[in-house]
Amino acid sequence: MTGAVGSVERTAVYAAKQAGANVIAGVKKDQVRRAAELGADEIVALDDPDEMARMGPVDIVANCVRGATASRLLGKVKPGGMFVSVTGIPDGADAFPQVRTKAFVSKQDINTYLYAAGGIISGKLEIPVSRILPLRQAADAHAEMAHGGAGKILLRP
């Protein structure tokens, strides 16, 4: 799971672990400590060439990053394995015909939200929230998010 400390991938780590998968959390070096809280079986710093070199072959990559990191991960997928990505198929994918690639678009529905909410309520899934604002400040929250780096903002009635 690349980008494992982000909200989408935190939820993916949770779902994969609930399904019994062996999960490797792929993060940046400065995120390793935070990733340790996710319950993954292993953590790999994707921006550390030595760690990437030690990473063994995997059945599936669930990808949320772009660029060279995504392209390098294609080479870590076992023949017949799958590279699924919310950021599209990485450059160079055609050099790995033994890897099935799939661009993925999430489908939001009530059951997905209820599943994640169950994980949050049970304490098994945490989605960090950087700020809590009253609903009347929704426009301010959107403006803050548009500038980037805001983290998750929770709006309350």
The whole-number pLDDT of residue 149 equals: 64
**CA neighbours closer than 13 Å in the CB half-sphere of residue 125:** 24
Phi, then psi, of 145 in degrees rounded to 5: -65, -35
**What pLDDT is attached to residue 89?**
94
Confidence (pLDDT) at 138: 95
Domain 7-126 homologous superfamily, CATH: NAD(P)-binding Rossmann-like Domain (3.40.50.720)
What predicted TM-score, i.e. pTM, was given to this entire model?
0.83
pLDDT at 146: 87
pLDDT of the chain along its 157 residues, tens only? 999 898 888 999 999 999 999 999 999 999 999 899 899 999 999 999 999 999 999 999 999 998 999 999 999 999 999 999 999 999 999 999 999 999 988 788 999 889 999 999 999 999 989 899 999 999 999 998 888 766 789 999 9
Q: Of 6, 44, 53, which Cα lies nearest the Cα of 26?
A: 44
Q: Are strands 100-103 and 77-85 parallel, antiparallel or unpaired?
A: parallel
Q: Contact at 8 Å (CB) between 2 and 69?
A: yes
Burial (0-12, 13-18, 19+ Cβ within 10 Å), 62: buried
Per-domain boundaries in the chain: 7-126, 129-157
DSSP secondary structure letters along 51-106:
HHHH---EEEEEE---HHHHHHHHTTEEEEEEEEETT-PPTTGGG-TTSEEEE---
Q: What angle do CA 142, 67, 88 make, to 5 degrees?
A: 70
Give the other-Cβ count within 10 Å of 65's Cβ. 20
**What's residue 30's pLDDT?**
94
Task: Provide the pLDDT for residue 147.
Answer: 84
The kind and range of the H/E element at 118 are helix 110-122
